[in-house]
Amino acid sequence: MQSAEHPSRTARGRAAAGEPRPRFDTLTVPKASDVLAAEVRERILSGEFTEGMALPPERQLVEQTGLSRATVREALRILEVERLLEIRPGRGGGAFVHRPGRESLANTVRLVIRGQRIRLEDLHETREAIEPACAALAARRRTDADLAELDDAHAELVAAGDDIQRFLHANIHWHNAVARAGENELLIGFMSALSQSIHAATDIEQFMDADIRKLTARAHARITEAIRDRDSEAAMRRMTRHVCGFARAAAEVDRRDGVELTDPEN
């Protein structure tokens, strides 16, 4: 009787015959500091670690995690850069939880705009899509405090006169105040980043002549009026005309053939 072929010999025979062997993909093992940072990040974002909470001292973190001091420090640095932790030196110092808010979003958007070299045209398109909605929300949700901030920003803009930098500061203040009145944290963060980035990328000194400053002030007054009256449709319509007119005027600056903004009568 012929004996059954031994399994290992059969496998060796197939390999010798040139049959392909199984392949494995390269494994990427995460750094221990990234793993620790990810755990702390999740516990912060989930709300388990609350605003201002102090993490255990570095020595205790080393003991609890079994990681080296250098690894723990690197994880804390990662979270500090992400603004999820505040590292305070000296007695009474340590690592304290900082939950992200609108300013964290604004900083992130600004970094993306600068890092990706986003075109000014794209910034204007984004603003045209977002800011009219901000105005409509502001008209529905504004408080007396919001109106006071809008009025203060507008008064500062009018009082700026020929002081371009003061005018620009008041202009950004007013636009951000509209977003804040809408009480939408995402829109507030986006508008803060967009307003600053657009002004930084535009040839403002050449663009902001006296007539355009007057039209800008008039547009702000008309939009504020709609927000005061809780007329969300008028607020959206007037803001659309205002930001679209600004985008067209900014595009015409280099040609200087006749820069003008749309006067939002309606």
From 242, 26, 23, 37, select the one nearest 134 (Cα to Cα).
Answer: 242
**Cα 222 off chain centre by:** 28
Rounded Cα–Cα distance for residues 130 and 27 (Å): 43
| Better pLDDT: 7 or 193 | 193
Q: For residue 264, report the phi and psi dihedrals to the nearest 5 degrees.
A: -80, 75
The reported pLDDT for the residue numbered 195 is: 86
Residue 52 in 3-state DSSP?
A: coil
Give the pLDDT of residue 212. 81
Span(s) in the chain for CATH 1.20.120.530: 103-252
* Contacts with 243 (C-beta within 8 Å, 6 or more apart), sequence order: 124, 127, 128, 131, 132
SS3 222: helix
Predicted confidence at residue 95, as pLDDT, reads 94
pLDDT of residue 261: 43
CATH of 103-252, one of 1.10.357.10, 2.90.10.10, 1.10.3720.10, 1.20.120.530: 1.20.120.530
pLDDT in tens, 113-146: 877 788 888 888 899 999 999 999 999 999 999 9
pLDDT winner (highest mean) among 13-27, 91-105, 157-171, 215-229: 215-229
Identify the residue with better confidence: 14 or 85: 85
Rounded Cα distance between 263 and 252, Å, is 17
Where does residue 99 rank: exposed (0-12), middle (13-18), buried (19+ CB within 10 A)? Answer: middle
Task: State how far the alpha carbon of 118 is from the alpha carbons of 18, 109, 114, 125, 247, in Å.
Answer: 54, 11, 7, 11, 15
- The half-sphere exposure of 30 on its side-chain side, counting CA atoms within 13 A, is 9
Per residue in 169-180, pLDDT (tens digit) is: 999 999 999 999
162 compared with 170, residue with greater pLDDT: 170
pLDDT at 250 over 70: no
**Residue 29: pLDDT band by 50, 70, 90 thresholds?**
confident
Amino acid (one-letter) located at 43: R
pLDDT in tens, 84-104: 999 998 888 899 999 877 777
Q: What are phi and psi of 127, to 5 degrees?
A: -65, -40
CA torsion angle 57 61 67 69 (round to 10): 0
pLDDT at 111: 78
On whether the CB atoms of residues 58 and 72 are closer than 8 A, the answer is: yes
Please tell me the pTM assigned to this model. Answer: 0.67
CATH class of 32-97: mainly alpha
pLDDT at 247: 74
What is the number of other CB atoms lying within 10 angstroms of the CB of residue 264?
A: 21
The answer to whether 36 touches 95, Cβ cutoff 8 Å, is: no
Output the pLDDT for position 256: 45
Poorest-pLDDT segment among 1-15, 63-77, 91-105, 226-240: 1-15
Q: Is it the case that residue 15 has pLDDT exceeding 60?
A: no
Do 138 and 225 contact (CB within 8 A), yes or no?
Answer: no
Q: How far is CA 211 from CA 25, 97, 222, 258, 263, in A?
A: 65, 49, 17, 12, 11
pLDDT of residue 8: 53
Residue 133, classed as helix, strand or coil, is helix
Give the CA angle between residues 212, 213, 218 to the nearest 5°: 95
Residues of the chain with CATH 1.10.10.10: 32-97
